[in-house]
Amino acid sequence: MTSLFGATSRVVMTISLAYSTAPAAFAATPDASGPCSAIAALSIPADRISLPTSGATIQSATLVTTSETSNQNGEYCKVIGQIKPVDPKAPDIVWQVNLPSAWNGKLLQYGGGGYNGSLPPTTDKTTLGLDVVPTPLAQGFVTFGSDSGHQAANADDASFARNDEAMLNYGYMHIRKVLDVAKVLVEKRYEKPVKRVYFQGGSTGGREGLTAASRWPQSYDGILTNYPTANFVGLRLWGAGLARAVYDDKSAGWIPPALVEHIAKTSLKSCDGLDGADDGLVSNFQGCRAQAAALIQSLSCKADVTGNPRDCLTKAQIDRTLKIYHEGYSLPYRLANGIDQYPGYNSLEGIVMQLGSEASLRIPPVSGPNALHASRSFEFLQNFVQRDQPLDLLSFDIREPGKLKDRIVELSNVIGATTTDWSAFSDRGGKIIWLQGNDDPSVSPLGNAKLFEAIVTKMGKEKVRDFMRFYLVPGLAHGGGRFSPTWDNLTALDNWVEHGVPPSNPVVVDATKSSTTGRSRPLCEYPSWPKYKGDGDMELATSFVCSEK
């Protein structure tokens, strides 16, 4: 099997360039149509991009004016192009850079989602940002992003990863390559230095933000990361373990959708009031986890039942599916940064498990009919790991992967953001605001909390607070959920970077499309959570205090 690290790969792993961040004030560029159209003729040679490419080309450069009724971003030059690969068999990296006519001197890079394959919405608000706040582009940020180095109609499609260059682009390279291209365009458009570079995203985009700061700490000033797939390989192994738990022995561990819903409703009812408020949110999730054994007992079948009953849990469903879903797994070997486990999810604390609508595993697995993580795990194992031979998901053992183990460990060092030493980034003044939902069924909140705890153990609590804030948000799923927090997160990050003012008792507003829209809660630093004071309007953040017990 071909190694990830050929001669080219070994070189690019060591490259990290620092850029000038001299402050400056900027006003609108006169006669914007001329500079924008001039960019269309620009060619970017390979030596302007710090990782190996064959250069970049411009597909189009279009001036978007304020006269266009759908434009809420002010006047800007929309530039789309491609970064050409070294390997002629690898796909291009398609990118978009938006250059506002009134530039504030700052750049904001947008992350993607899933296995990517399409451009992120670089003209929209930030992930979890307030709708009533102008978009970053309207505020004067140059905004940009890419498809991560391949094109696909479905973000679950990982077939691109059979090509080494495309896989490395997805893992981390596209982040830096597109930043370099954006800086060339900024130089051409404004002829002024860049003041700050920020990154924002959720899920894969959250991982990309942490990756950007950890791999190139001198090039990024601030990161907004939301529910990141930080332990990417660990998550994919968890999906493979879940598939075996659910579908082995004629799907003995599969739990029908109605029973999955019943488990969630029962646990929510049992745990809702542990934070002092019956508000549909489990804020004291650790207190709720302490009740898990009793909840399982109350839901278990009273007799020896086989198959998939619809009103109680069998021994197979409890010992297999709920065990890995709620408790996770441990490995007899270590992934990158010494990680040998993946904690489970709050599946007995009110979230709805994503186990699929069908008892049988399709070949290949399909999200929806099958468990979400089974599908994405198969895509990973088939295209990143096994590659050249068909993979049988139900014959793969995450604890004993045989000849595939070295490849899996190697990949964990390429794709992921599990470093615990952030000294290079923090020492130069970099800042990170990190949100994770308790109700997330896609990325383990316990896993990201454990990673944050490892960072604190490595660096010390006070040093971590100097550059990072980590918030566990009750009710937040993988975006959306029972409580979808929105706040002016980019301004909070910018104030921290520019003025040394960290977020102070921030308040988030619920944007769920339901009767709870508009309610507010304090954003509590982990390990604290919003506790109801005992009186006052439950719709208001002022009625809650951040508590650890």
The tally of CA atoms less than 13 A away on the side-chain side of residue 88 is 0
The answer to whether the beta carbons of residues 543 and 535 sit under 8 Å apart is yes
Long-range contacts of 530-538 (CB under 8 A, 24+ apart): 530/275, 530/283, 530/474, 531/275, 531/276, 531/283, 531/284, 532/275, 532/276, 532/277, 532/279, 533/276, 534/276, 538/277, 538/279
Asked whether the CA dihedral 223, 146, 378, 7 is positive or negative, the reply is negative
Asked about 373 being catalytic, the answer comes back as no
Q: Among this protein's residues, is 439 annotated catalytic? A: no
Q: In angstroms, rounded to a whole number, what is the distance separating the alpha carbons of residues 33 and 40? A: 11
DSSP string, 100-144: ESB--SEEEEEP--TT--S---TTSPPTTB-TTSPPTTTTT-EEE
* 381-384-390 Cα angle (round to 5): 55
Catalytic-labelled residue, pool 101, 118, 148, 203: 203
Contact (CB, 8 A) for 353 and 260: yes
Does the active-site annotation cover 406?
Answer: no
Choosing from 150, 174, 326, 478, the catalytic residue is 478
Tokens 């959720």 belong to which residue? 202
Out of 164, 440, 494, 510, which one is annotated catalytic?
A: 440
Identify the burial level of 10 via C-beta atoms within 10 angstroms of its C-beta, where 0-12 means exposed, 13-18 middle and 19 or more buried: exposed
Q: Which residues are known catalytic residues?
A: 203, 440, 478
